[in-house]
Chains A and B, each alone.
Chain A
C-alpha cells in the first residue's frame, strides 16, 4: 500500500516538472528561426548531411569539431518531420523536460529527499539564466542532448555501471564539446559518499575515459598549433597572448557566474544600479556610467553573490554531514561547467545564456542539497524547522514562478519578432513566385537600423542575402556553391557572385548596385527590388523604379 502511495507522489512530482517546462516554454513552437538556424536550413536544402560533414576532415569530426552527433540528429529531425519550426521546438522542449526528470533522478541517487529532488528538476527547467539553450533553436540540438547523455552517464556512474557511463559521456562529447569539463568528475560518483574511500581504484577503472579526454585535448591543442588560434577561439588578442586571457577567464568566469546562475538578468540589473548608486557615489557622474554599471558592477555584484553563497556553503557543509557529498559534487560540477567557456569572451554582462545549461543542471542539485541540509540543521527544534520549511517553500514557489515569467516574457518577445520575420519573408516569397536567371535582389526599407546595426533595414540577425538565397532556393535559380561557401552571411554583406551558369546578387546600397550594374556585372532585367515598410510591416515591389533609376547610366 505504502509503496503505491509513494509511486503516485513521484508521478505527480514528475508531472509537475513537465508541467512547469511546458508552462515556461509554451510559446516556443510559435517562434521563428533566429540566426544560426538558417545555416543548417541552407545546408539541408543544398544536399543534406553529407554537405555539412564534408566541411571538415574526418579526424576533426572524431575529436568533436562541428559536433557530428548533433548534426546527425538535426538531419534526422529534418528528414522525418521537415524543416519547420514546430518539430525543432518540440524536440527541444522534449529533451529539456527529460533532462529535468533526469536531474530529479540524479538528486534522488545522491540521497536528496524526493520532494527536494523535484525542486532540483524544477529549478533546471525554469532557469532563466540558461533559458536560451532551449529557446534558441540552433543550440537545442547541441547543449540539450549533450546534457542528456552526461546526466545519463552520471546516473550510470552512481549505479557503478562504468562501461555505460563512459559510453554515454563520449556520446555527450560529440553533441557538445563543453561536456568534457564534467568528465573527470565522473569517477567520484562511483565511490562511497561518506569518505570517498576507494577513489584511487575508481580512477583506475575509469582509465578509458581519461585516455579519451587526454587524446581529445592533445589533438585539439595540436590543431591549434598547426592551424593557429584563428577560428578556434574568440578570446581577444588585446592582451597579447590569448593564453593569458584564457587563464584570467578560467579563474573569473566560475567565480562570477556561480551566483549569476541563480540570479535572473533583470533582477541583477536592478541590484547593480542600486549598489552602484550607494557604493560609488563619486562615480555616478561619469559619462560612461551605463558601461561601468552594466559590465563592471555586474561582475562585482556577481562576486559578492558567489562570496555569500560560499559562506552559506561552508557553514552548511561544516555542520551538515548528510548532504555534504551532494552539495560538494554539485558545486564542483557548477564550477567546472564554466571552465570550457574561458575560451570565449563575453559580449554582455553575463556569459551567453546558452552556456549556462550545464550550470543550471548542477545549480538545481546544489539548491536541493542546500535546502535539504538547511532543514536537517534545524531538525532538533520542531518550531524553527516548521518555520524554515514554510519560508523556504514560499520563497521557492515565488522564485520558480518569477523565473518562468521571465522566460515567458522573453519567448513572447521572440515570438513577436519571429512573426514579423516570418510575415516579411512570406510576403517577399509571394511577391516573386519565380525569379529571373542569375537574380540580383535589392532590399531597402523605412527603418534606419535593426538591433543596433545601422544600415540594416530588414528585421534579421544574419545576412539578408543568405536568408533570401535559402528562401528562394526551391526556384532552382540559386547556385549551391554560394550557399555552401556561406556568402552573404555577414549582416551587411552585399555583392554579386557567379558560379558556372548560375549567379546571385544581393544589395542594400543603391549606389553600389548602380555601380556594379554600370560595370556590366549583370543586366538590369536580373534585378528585383523590394522595400520593407517596418511600421506597417508591408513589403512593396520597387523593381521598376530601381531599373528606371539605373537606366540612366546604361544610356
Chain B
C-alpha cells in the first residue's frame, strides 16, 4: 500500500495536467515564434546562435534552448507538434521530479502530493507551456534545477563528492537553458541546512562554498553592470533610480503575485471591473475604463487578496512549528524567483506579471500551500476525527483543483482561438492566391480591429512580415526581407524593390496611392485582400483595388 501511494499521486497529477492542457495540441505559433521561424528559414539551423563561446558558457544567450528551437523549426517547418510534445514531456518530467523532490525534503506523502498538484496545474504559469517561444527554455531549465536538488545530499556526514559535483553540473545545465534560474543557487548550497536531521551552523556553509557564493554575487553584479553601464553623472543618478526601483520591485512583485498564483487574469479583471465601477463612480463612464481596470483597480484587488493570503499563511507559520523550515524554504524560493523580474521588468502591462515568468515561482508557493493544507487537515481532525476530515478535505481540494483546471483550460483555449485565427488566415491566403505576381504589393483591409486600432487581421506581429512568412515558400517572395524582419512592427507599411525582387504591404489606401503616384510601378503588382473580421472570412478585392488605384492615382 505504502509503495502504491507515490505511484498513484504522480499518476493523479499527470492526469490533472493532461486534463488541464487537453487543448495544447491545437495551439499554433502566435507571435515571437514567427520571427524565429523566419530566422531559421533564411539563415539555417544555427540562426541566432552567437559564436563567442565564452559568453555562451557564462549563460548570456541561452544557446541550448535556442538550438533545440532551431532544430524544431528546421526539421519540422511550420509544424507546432514538436513543441507540444516537448511541453508535455518536459512538464510531465517536472511533475515526477517535483514529487520525489518534495518527498525527499519532507518525507511526507500529503505535502508531496499537494505541491505536485500545484505544479501540475500551473494556473499562473500556464504560458510557459502554451506559448511555444518559452516552452523549451523554461520547462527544461527547471527540470535540471529539480535534478540538481534531487542529487544534492541532505546530510553532511555522508556527503559524497560525486553527488555534489553532479548536482552542480545539473544546475549549470539549467543555467545554460535559462540563466534566470541562478536565483536558486544559494538555496541549493544551503539545502542541507533546511532539511538535514542534525543542526548545522549556517556560517559553515558560507565558508565551505565561498567560491560559489562569490560566483553568484559576481554574476548578479555583472548583470547589474550590464543593466547600467553608466558613462556620465546623469546616468549615475538614473542608475540610482533604477536601483531603488529594483529594490522596490523585488518586494512588490512577490507580494502582489501571491494573489495571482491561484486566480486567472480574466477572473480577476472581471471582479476588478465590478468592484471599480462600484467604488469610483467616474470609472463607469470613463473612456479609459478598460486600461484603468486592468492596472490600478486590479492592483488594488490583488493587494487586498494578497493581504488575506499573507495573513492566513502567517497564521499557519505560527501554528505549524515543525514545518517552519520548510515554510521558510518555500518562501525564499518564491521571493528569490522574482529577483530576475525585479531587475529586467521595470513595468507591468497589467496587474499580472508575464505568466511564463511565474513558472519558477510556483514550486515555492506550492510548498507554502501544501503546509497550509496540512494545517487545515490537522485542525479539522481535531474537531471531527480522521476519516470525516479526510473526506471533507478531498471534496474541498477537488473543487479547488477543478476550478484551477478550468482556469488553465480557458487560458489555453484562448491561445487556441488566437492561433487558429492566424493558421486559418494563412492557409486562406495561400488557397486564394495560388499564383503571386512579381514584386507583389499587398493591400489588406478589413472591418474590425484586432488588438490595436487599425490592425485589421488577427496577426500578433506586423502584418507585412506575417504576409512574407505566409508566402515564404513562393519564389516571388524575397528571402532577404524575411531575414531583415521587414515590416515586423504593428501597422508598419512600405515597399522595397531591389532589382529582380520586391515586396510591399499597405493598409492605408492613401499611402498605396502615393506610392503609385510617384513611381512607375504597374498596377498588376497589387493584390487586394479584405478580411471580414467577425466571420473570419477572407475575400479577394484585387480587381477593385487595381482599378481604383489606376483611376485615382495614375494620371
* A interface residue numbers (CB < 8 A to B): 236, 238-239, 244-245, 248, 251-252, 255, 278, 280-283, 286-288, 291-292, 295-297, 299-300, 303-304, 307, 310, 314
Q: Are A281 and B278 in contact (CB under 8 A)?
A: no
Determine the distance from Cα of A74 to Cα of B280 in the docked complex, in whole angstroms: 37
Given contacts A296-B300, A307-B307, contact A248 B291 (CB under 8 A): no
Residues of B within 8 A of A280 (CB): 295-296
Q: 8 more A-B contacts (CB under 8 A) besides A245-B278, A296-B297, A300-B299? A: A238-B278, A238-B281, A244-B278, A280-B295, A295-B282, A300-B300, A300-B303, A303-B303
Query: Counting CB contacts under 8 A, is B213 at the interface?
Result: no
Determine the distance from Cα of A286 to Cα of B288 in the docked complex, in whole angstroms: 8
Q: Are B281 and A236 in contact (CB under 8 A)?
A: yes
Query: How close is A517's CB to chain B, nearest CB, in angstroms?
Result: 40
Cβ contact of A283, chosen from B278, B282, B296, cutoff 8 A: B296
Q: Are A303 and B275 in contact (CB under 8 A)?
A: no
Query: How close is A266's CB to chain B, nearest CB, in angstroms?
Result: 22
Query: Counting CB contacts under 8 A, is B236 at the interface?
Result: no
Query: Counting CB contacts under 8 A, is B200 at the interface?
Result: no
Number of A-B contacts (CB under 8 A): 66
Chain B, Cβ-Cβ closest to A304:
B303
Residues of A within 8 A of B188 (CB): none
Q: Are A283 and B292 in contact (CB under 8 A)?
A: yes
Determine the distance from Cα of A297 to Cα of B297 in the docked complex, in whole angstroms: 9
Chain B, Cβ-Cβ closest to A235:
B278
Query: Counting CB contacts under 8 A, is B287 at the interface?
Result: yes
Q: Are A282 and B307 in contact (CB under 8 A)?
A: no
Determine the distance from Cα of A281 to Cα of B349 in the docked complex, in whole angstroms: 10
Determine the distance from Cα of A282 to Cα of B288 in the docked complex, in whole angstroms: 12
Query: Counting CB contacts under 8 A, is B314 at the interface?
Result: yes
Determine the distance from Cα of A291 to Cα of B292 in the docked complex, in whole angstroms: 11
Q: Are A296 and B314 in contact (CB under 8 A)?
A: no
Q: Are B307 and A248 in contact (CB under 8 A)?
A: no
Chain B, Cβ-Cβ closest to A286:
B288
Subset of 27 A-B contacts with CB under 8 Å? A238-B284, A239-B274, A239-B277, A245-B278, A248-B278, A252-B279, A252-B304, A278-B245, A282-B347, A282-B349, A283-B295, A286-B288, A288-B286, A288-B288, A295-B282, A296-B280, A296-B300, A297-B296, A299-B279, A300-B300, A300-B303, A303-B300, A303-B303, A303-B307, A304-B303, A307-B303, A314-B314
Residues of B within 8 A of A296 (CB): 280, 292, 296-297, 300
Q: Are A292 and B314 in contact (CB under 8 A)?
A: no
Determine the distance from Cα of A275 to Cα of B274 in the docked complex, in whole angstroms: 25
Chain A, Cβ-Cβ closest to B241:
A278
Residues of B within 8 A of A278 (CB): 245
Determine the distance from Cα of A288 to Cα of B277 in the docked complex, in whole angstroms: 15
The dominant DSSP class at the A interface is helix
Determine the distance from Cα of A286 to Cα of B286 in the docked complex, in whole angstroms: 10
Determine the distance from Cα of A283 to Cα of B303 in the docked complex, in whole angstroms: 19
Please list the 6 inter-chain residue pairs (A to B) with the smallest Cβ-Cβ separation, ordered nearest first.
A239-B278, A296-B296, A303-B303, A291-B282, A286-B288, A295-B280
Query: How close is B42's CB to chain A, nearest CB, in angstroms?
Result: 35
Residues of B within 8 A of A281 (CB): 347
Residues of B within 8 A of A300 (CB): 296, 299-300, 303
Determine the distance from Cα of A202 to Cα of B230 in the docked complex, in whole angstroms: 67
Cβ contact of B279, chosen from A248, A283, A303, A314, cutoff 8 A: A248
Residues of A within 8 A of B284 (CB): 238
Determine the distance from Cα of A252 to Cα of B286 in the docked complex, in whole angstroms: 22
Determine the distance from Cα of A195 to Cα of B75 in the docked complex, in whole angstroms: 72
Query: How close is A332's CB to chain B, nearest CB, in angstroms?
Result: 15
Residues of B within 8 A of A292 (CB): 292, 296
Chain B, Cβ-Cβ closest to A276:
B296
Determine the distance from Cα of A296 to Cα of B299 in the docked complex, in whole angstroms: 10
Residues of B within 8 A of A252 (CB): 279, 304
Residues of B within 8 A of A314 (CB): 314
Residues of B within 8 A of A310 (CB): 307
Query: How close is B465's CB to chain A, nearest CB, in angstroms?
Result: 25
Residues of A within 8 A of B304 (CB): 251-252, 255, 303
Residues of A within 8 A of B291 (CB): 283, 286
Determine the distance from Cα of A255 to Cα of B292 in the docked complex, in whole angstroms: 21
Most chain A beta carbons < 10 A, residue from B275, B281, B300, B349: B300
Residues of A within 8 A of B278 (CB): 236, 238-239, 244-245, 248
Residues of B within 8 A of A248 (CB): 275, 278-279
Determine the distance from Cα of A304 to Cα of B303 in the docked complex, in whole angstroms: 8
Query: How close is B287's CB to chain A, nearest CB, in angstroms?
Result: 7
Query: How close is A269's CB to chain B, nearest CB, in angstroms?
Result: 17
Interface flags for B338-377 (1: CB within 8 Å of A; 0: not) read: 0000000001010000000000000000000000000000
Most chain B beta carbons < 10 A, residue from A244, A281, A283: A283
Chain A, Cβ-Cβ closest to B307:
A307
Determine the distance from Cα of A217 to Cα of B161 in the docked complex, in whole angstroms: 72
Chain A, Cβ-Cβ closest to B347:
A281
Determine the distance from Cα of A244 to Cα of B314 in the docked complex, in whole angstroms: 29
Chain B, Cβ-Cβ closest to A297:
B296
Q: Are B277 and A238 in contact (CB under 8 A)?
A: yes
Determine the distance from Cα of A252 to Cα of B307 in the docked complex, in whole angstroms: 12
Residues of A within 8 A of B279 (CB): 248, 252, 299
Query: How close is B346's CB to chain A, nearest CB, in angstroms?
Result: 8
Q: Which of B288-324 contact A (CB under 8 A)?
A: 288, 291-292, 295-297, 299-300, 303-304, 307, 314
Query: How close is B272's CB to chain A, nearest CB, in angstroms?
Result: 11
Determine the distance from Cα of A245 to Cα of B295 in the docked complex, in whole angstroms: 22
Chain B, Cβ-Cβ closest to A295:
B280
Residues of B within 8 A of A297 (CB): 296
Most chain A beta carbons < 10 A, residue from B277, B291, B296, B347: B296
Residues of B within 8 A of A251 (CB): 304
Cβ contact of A299, chosen from B245, B282, B295, B300, cutoff 8 A: B300
Residues of B within 8 A of A286 (CB): 288, 291-292
Given contacts A238-B281, A295-B282, contact A255 B295 (CB under 8 A): no
Determine the distance from Cα of A300 to Cα of B351 in the docked complex, in whole angstroms: 13
Chain B, Cβ-Cβ closest to A346:
B279
Residues of B within 8 A of A236 (CB): 278, 281
Residues of B within 8 A of A244 (CB): 278
Chain A, Cβ-Cβ closest to B349:
A282
Residues of B within 8 A of A238 (CB): 277-278, 281, 284
Interface flags for B427-462 (1: CB within 8 Å of A; 0: not) read: 000000000000000000000000000000000000
Residues of B within 8 A of A303 (CB): 300, 303-304, 307
Determine the distance from Cα of A154 to Cα of B177 in the docked complex, in whole angstroms: 64
Query: How close is A309's CB to chain B, nearest CB, in angstroms?
Result: 12
Q: Are B314 and A288 in contact (CB under 8 A)?
A: no
